[in-house]
Structure 1
Amino acid sequence: MDLEICFKNTLSKRILRLTRFICRHRGVHYLDEESMPRRMEHSVETVGFKFLQPAPEQTHLAGNIRLHRQFFSRYLEFERSIIVYLPPSYKDNPYKRYPVLYMHDGNNVFDPRTSFAGVSWEVNDTVEKLVTQNKLEEIIVVGIYNTPARLYEYTWTPMTLDNEMMQGGHGKKYARFMVQELKQFIDKEYRTLADRQNTAVMGSSLGGLINFYLGRHYSDIFGKIAIMSPSFWWGNGIAYKHAQNYPRDLRIWMDIGVYECGSHQPKANDYVIRQTRMMREALLQNGYEENVNFRYFEDPHGHHNEYSWSKRVHRPLLFFFGKEQQQKPFSA
């Protein structure tokens, strides 16, 4: 059966609305009995643009962090901050160049003060720990702040449901911003290894969805694609239409949490897991090899939040930049 048709056959309007709400409005964290931040549903008016926090005047984070404010794009409506983590040896080794990891929702990547609900991915801490343990190559990490146009920028097609036009559809412009403006700036400003084999992109939710687009259309730029908790439901499953002719020369990480929609939504959780498994099967049928150039992981404790992504971000980091990843298949 065609994957796009299969997707639509499993689609429940109630489940779609729930997953759409979670990915669109991102909810609010609270601590459950295990003291883990989770998301609870709130009205649109309550949530608003809570995830949009201004860049602080100074950063107090582990590692060498640089902040570029009001980065302008001729393709996008809003300016945004760009936050850059530099590896420990960057200052002392002026001739060394480094691989680069680009991350969407950059305000959530390093700093709890700018992160959604005050919980960050702590990528700088994780990278420094893995480098110290001699498990990870030193890398540059570029966090791209989101804007009020997040839904537009992270989706390449408008969303419709019951003849109702939803938001979205500016992902092509966002991709051009990344490739033609941001990457060129980073490669000029910092000592990067600019080739595709040393350039990765990582994102979650709609950030994972736009990475699927970047991998399909810019595989000559981004050789490593991390798709975490992806919103493959967007556009009525249009991503499945492109899975069977997806470029085969990428290194892809894909994952999903068992509790993406909350611990009390078993049907919705089953739905998002099934849709991610469908994409996994499509890519494997297209020629990708598990543990070679493709890695899939289901987080048994994973929710749709920054806390969960922070607890497993080491996995794609090691798959992409681990010191042993080219010598033997990656093992989680």
Structure 2
Amino acid sequence: MKGTIQNLNINDHHCSLYLPPNYNILDINYPVVYMNGDNNIEEIIDSIESHFYVDCSAFILVSIESKNWNNDFSPWPAPALTKNREDFSGDAYKYLKSLTKVIKPFIDTHYKTKTQPENTVLIGYSLGGLATLYSLYLFGTFGKVGSLSGSLWYDGWIEFMSSNSPINTAAKVYLSLGKSEERSRNHRMAKVGDCTQKTFFILSKQLVSTENITLEWNNGGHFTEIPKRFSKALLWLMHI
């Protein structure tokens, strides 16, 4: 990796900040990728840096550590998946509002960023992927979103999409799912394949062009080659 990663606290949010190679040398502004959850960004960046300026734009990346995964990324309250887990509290709006009103303004103020929606990306995995799609219906901030193995089985999600419209219909959307994920023993999670396809179909109708959305099927289950799935998503979203 040729760029640099540093830890950063923005109010009470713990973040990892990646700055691309030559950030301190070149007098240019960069698109920004915001990532829901504390992921292995070093491995992700390692696999994508060589594509900068060839296949995709160089970018700043901000990974935001979740205080409580089930709270931060659930769009509305829902029962737990099993008896031994906590319920979903539905605080995604609160988290996304903090991201758009606190974290993004801080990054735009202190770093060399391109601030427009088309240069602002939100990406996430699992429940964090669901929250990226939810943001489309709440804010026009993110012109590109990626939902990787998104928890699109979530109770009421398809109904919500069907009765609402994205604020920025020109947004680009990347969806992906593992081919084995719908084989879950949990009857709610087992709907993820069908719900992902329905999500793709609904958004294809809601966005200005079918070219603005793609659905990629990966080999394996929910925990297979996660950094690689992030890299593929970012290559598509940040394609030159």
Query: Where on the TM-score scale, by shorter chain, does this alignment land: which range?
Result: 0.7 to 0.9
- Name the SS of the counterpart of 1:276 in structure 2: helix
Say yes or no: does 1:140 pair with 2:98: no
Shift of 1:168: 1.6
Q: How many angstroms apart in 2 are the aligned matches of 1:215 and 1:176?
A: 12
1:219-258 mapped onto 2 (5 Å cutoff): 219=140, 221-234=141-154, 236-243=155-162, 245-247=164-166, 248-258=169-179
Number of the residue aligned with 2:14: 81
Larger radius of gyration: 1
Within the candidate set 194, 218, 222, 1:304 is matched to 222
Q: How many angstroms apart in 2 are the aligned matches of 1:269 and 1:245?
A: 23
- Name the SS of the counterpart of 2:220 in structure 1: strand
Quick one: structure 1 residues 129 and 167, their matched pair in 2 at CA, closer, same or farther if it must change by over 3 Å? same
Contact 2:153/2:191 (8 A) holds in 1: no
1:192-271 mapped onto 2 (5 Å cutoff): 192-219=113-140, 221-234=141-154, 236-243=155-162, 245-247=164-166, 248-260=169-181, 271=191
- Name the SS of the counterpart of 1:303 in structure 2: coil
1:20-99 mapped onto 2 (5 Å cutoff): 63-69=3-9, 71-72=10-11, 79-93=12-26, 95-99=27-31
Q: How many angstroms apart in 2 are the aligned matches of 1:128 and 1:237?
A: 38
- Give TM-score, length-normalised by structure 2: 0.87
Q: How many angstroms apart in 1 are the aligned matches of 2:124 and 2:152?
A: 13
Contact 1:261/1:268 (8 A) holds in 2: no
Quick one: structure 1 residues 184 and 240, their matched pair in 2 at CA, closer, same or farther if it must change by over 3 Å? same
Shift of 1:184: 0.6
Shift of 1:233: 2.3
Say yes or no: does 1:104 pair with 2:49: no
Shift of 1:269: 7.7
Q: How many angstroms apart in 2 are the aligned matches of 1:86 and 1:129?
A: 14
- Give TM-score, length-normalised by structure 1: 0.64
Unaligned runs of 5+ in 1: 1-60, 73-78, 112-121, 324-332
CA RMSD of aligned residues (A): 2.6
Number of the residue aligned with 1:127: 48
- Name the SS of the counterpart of 1:231 in structure 2: coil
Quick one: structure 1 residues 266 and 169, their matched pair in 2 at CA, closer, same or farther if it must change by over 3 Å? closer
Q: How many angstroms apart in 1 are the aligned matches of 2:80 and 2:15?
A: 34
- Name the SS of the counterpart of 1:284 in structure 2: helix
Q: How many angstroms apart in 1 are the aligned matches of 2:19 and 2:60?
A: 5
Question: Aligned pairs, how many?
Answer: 235
Quick one: structure 1 residues 288 and 258, their matched pair in 2 at CA, closer, same or farther if it must change by over 3 Å? farther
Quick one: structure 1 residues 281 and 88, their matched pair in 2 at CA, closer, same or farther if it must change by over 3 Å? same
Q: How many angstroms apart in 2 are the aligned matches of 1:214 and 1:197?
A: 15
Within the candidate set 154, 157, 165, 2:73 is matched to 154
- Name the SS of the counterpart of 1:141 in structure 2: strand
Unaligned runs of 5+ in 2: none
Shift of 1:285: 3.0
Q: Deviations over 1:206-232 (max 9, x none)?
A: 10111111111112x110011111112
- Name the SS of the counterpart of 1:254 in structure 2: strand
Shift of 1:288: 5.1
Q: How many angstroms apart in 2 are the aligned matches of 1:208 and 1:225?
A: 9
